[in-house]
Amino acid sequence: MIRDLVEAARILTPPRVVLFDWHATLVDTLDAMYTAVDEMLPLLPELGLLGKLVPPGRNRSVDDARLVEHVRKYGRLHPKVTADRRISRTDIFEILFGGNEDVKHIAHEAFNEAYRRHYGDVRPFEGGELVLLKELREFDVRIGVLTNRDREFFEHELAAVEGGAWRNLFDVTVCGGDTFRRKPNPEPILKALKLLQQPADQACWYLGDSSTDVASSCRAGVSPLFFNGAGWDDAWLEKVFPGTPAHPEKPQAIVDTFAEFRWLFEECLSIEHKQ
């Protein structure tokens, strides 16, 4: 796991395609997301999912085990998790349900019902994303969005952010429901690349804010970049990306801001030009 951007620029393959996660990477929809999760979790017994939570001893970390146990006991996220608002909904579902695709499908549907009551407010995550995305389009690089958010929500949010200024920025978008399996399965990335008629290789970068995004990238054979917009410290990153046989996936680079991502992108293309 590389924290030094100069070193990362030397190792990364210059991008031909850049794919972005949506929520908590390009845009902020945290209020609606956490409200919907809070409404959905008390329904786990009714949905038949309480007994499907990851059992003790099979968690990625002690912190994950504590989160699962709190949800099992109280039917809600720990107040600190809700207050910090740093874990993505996709990662929450991975921590709670692991690799059980059928169970996660039920959980996603229940989340959608709750999210439908609250979504609508959307803003750029940092504020300079529109400029960055326009700059990327000036290079011979295709750009797209991959999200576990269903298309009905994504299309509304895309049209709403910055008064519709983002509508024509992307060459491809793949949403939850567009494929049978969602991230961390590689299927959404592979579908996006198929639509772009591009191979799944290291010249495709995927930038996302969750360990789920990194896992999906690794499984698809593309370059995983982690967007640390939540400001996690190195100790937390080591726990989330432990490099164990059960959780081997690690990002090839970590950027804390979009300014860092822009530098890394341009430096990689500069290195390619020099070579």
pLDDT tens per residue across span 192-251: 999 999 999 999 999 999 999 999 999 999 999 999 999 999 998 998 999 999 889 999
Distance of alpha carbon 205 from alpha carbon 160, whole angstroms: 26
pLDDT for position 274: 56
270, pLDDT greater than 90: no
What would the pLDDT profile of 27-85 be if each residue is shown by its tens digit? 999 999 999 999 999 999 999 999 999 999 899 999 999 999 999 999 999 999 988 88
Residue ranges per domain, the chain? 5-28+121-274, 30-115
Q: List the alpha helices (DSSP H) in the chain.
A: 5-11, 30-40, 44-47, 62-74, 79-84, 89-97, 101-115, 129-137, 151-160, 187-196, 211-220, 234-240, 258-274
pTM over 0.95: no
Multiple choice CATH, 5-28+121-274, 3.30.420.40, 3.40.50.1000, 1.10.8.50, 3.40.50.300 = 3.40.50.1000
Between the CA of residue 154 and those of 17, 50, 166, 190, what are the distances in Å? 21, 29, 12, 19
Q: Which of 69, 74, 73, 85 is nearest to 35 (CA)?
A: 85
